[in-house]
């Protein structure tokens, strides 16, 4: 697989990354079998993926441990990104109770993540959500200290506004920003992507397949397991899914002409936006992994992109992407 550099940094990763969250959380149905998930992560490496995404809050803790065990044989060959920023339940139960990016907390999280990931240094450490109680300059300074100590290699932000990114970047260069971005969530285009291009920062879209909706495998009749996060997201109400099917129909029509799938077109569209964009789709299935990887070879011409833009502009996406509580944590 071809490689991409995240902005002007020296961090080079595979054109497509891998989001591991769903492997150990209930966000998208039951967790996968541990041995099968380890085998899948290693299959991803065998197929050229070198960029893996996890976080302390996923599980919590169990996702980092899974990724650490699976990728230990490839130490030095892969790039692992993880995150700090949520205040977790004291008993280790799923979810969080707030935000916490105090410098002393950042250090505690980083030290623990190093052990779970089985690495000597964290390749890319993101602030998971901006903490309004802690100046971003203090956050950037704390990560800068960890970088100087050799415990972290690169600093990243997630769901941060252009202003916050600039402030952080002035203290410690930001290598990458991770935010939701896809054909059905394009707000980063307004101010974040222009700022990243100006500053030379890479962009890592999460949920590049719209939490599965853009694959074409979900309809208004699809039922999600009780703990599935999509049961609480307005955009996944049956009514919204029915209305938003028009976007999937567009992807399916283009896919037929390219002998590909809607998911591959959605990913190829992202890859065609900027050379410093690296999406991180996640999956628990080998066939979906191979389908996602196939997107890298799908070529969208300037005419294709213009056609997609024209058609997509006529489709009004229904429903909020998150609940109000979760959306309030994002600055994008």
Question: Active-site residues: which are they?
Answer: 58
Q: What angle is formed at CA 217 by the lines to CA 211 and CA 218, rounded to 5 degrees?
A: 65
Alpha-carbon distance of 246 to 251, in angstroms, equals: 9
Q: What angle is formed at CA 197 by the lines to CA 79 and CA 20, rounded to 5 degrees?
A: 30
The answer to whether 110 and 151 have CB atoms below 8 angstroms apart is: yes
A 10 A CB-CB count for 72 gives 11
Q: Which of 96, 58, 59 is nearest to 326 (CA)?
A: 96
Alpha-carbon distance of 124 to 227, in angstroms, equals: 29
φ, ψ at 62 (rounded to 5°)? -65, -30
Q: How far is CA 46 from CA 17, 66, 74, 237, in A?
A: 13, 17, 10, 38
Alpha-carbon distance of 305 to 215, in angstroms, equals: 18
Alpha-carbon distance of 97 to 168, in angstroms, equals: 25
Q: Which helix (H) or strand (E) holds 68?
A: helix 62-71
Give the sign of the dihedral formed by CA 247, CA 184, CA 214, CA 174.
positive
Instruction: For the chain, state the CA radius of gyration.
Output: 19
DSSP 181: -
Alpha-carbon distance of 332 to 182, in angstroms, equals: 14
Alpha-carbon distance of 176 to 196, in angstroms, equals: 9
Alpha-carbon torsion angle 260, 250, 6, 48, nearest 10: -20
């Amino acid at each position: 697989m071809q490689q991409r550099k995240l902005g002007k940094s020296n961090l080079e990763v595979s054109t497509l990354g891998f989001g591991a969250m769903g492997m150990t959380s209930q966000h998208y149905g039951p967790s996968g079998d541990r041995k099968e998930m380890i085998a899948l992560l290693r299959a991803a490496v065998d197929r050229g993926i070198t960029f893996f995404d996890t976080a302390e809050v996923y599980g919590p803790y169990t996702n980092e441990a899974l990724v650490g065990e699976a990728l230990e044989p490839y130490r030095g060959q892969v790039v692992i990104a993880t995150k700090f920023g949520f205040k977790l339940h004291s008993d280790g139960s799923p979810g969080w109770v707030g935000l916490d990016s105090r410098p002393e907390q950042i250090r505690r999280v980083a030290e623990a993540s190093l052990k779970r990931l089985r690495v000597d240094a964290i390749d890319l450490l993101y602030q998971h959500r901006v903490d309004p109680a802690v100046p971003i300059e203090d956050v950037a300074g704390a990560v800068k200290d960890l970088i100087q100590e050799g415990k972290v290699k690169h600093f990243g932000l997630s769901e941060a506004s252009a202003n916050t990114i600039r402030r952080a970047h002035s203290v410690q260069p930001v290598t990458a920003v991770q935010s939701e971005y896809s054909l059905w969530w394009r707000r980063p285009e307004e101010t974040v992507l222009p700022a990243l291009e100006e500053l030379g920062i890479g962009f890592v879209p999460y949920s590049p397949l719209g939490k599965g909706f853009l694959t074409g495998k979900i309809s208004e009749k699809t039922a999600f397991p009780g703990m599935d996060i999509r049961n609480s997201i307005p955009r996944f109400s049956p009514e919204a899914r029915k209305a938003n099917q028009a976007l999937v129909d567009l992807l399916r029509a283009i896919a037929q002409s390219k002998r590909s799938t809607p998911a591959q077109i959605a990913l190829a569209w992202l890859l065609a936006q900027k050379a410093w964009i690296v999406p991180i789709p996640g999956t628990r299935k080998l066939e979906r992994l191979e389908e996602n990887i196939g997107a890298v070879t799908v070529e969208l011409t300037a005419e294709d992109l213009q056609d997609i833009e024209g058609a997509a502009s006529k489709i009004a996406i229904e429903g909020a992407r998150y609940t109000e509580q979760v959306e309030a944590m994002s600055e994008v």
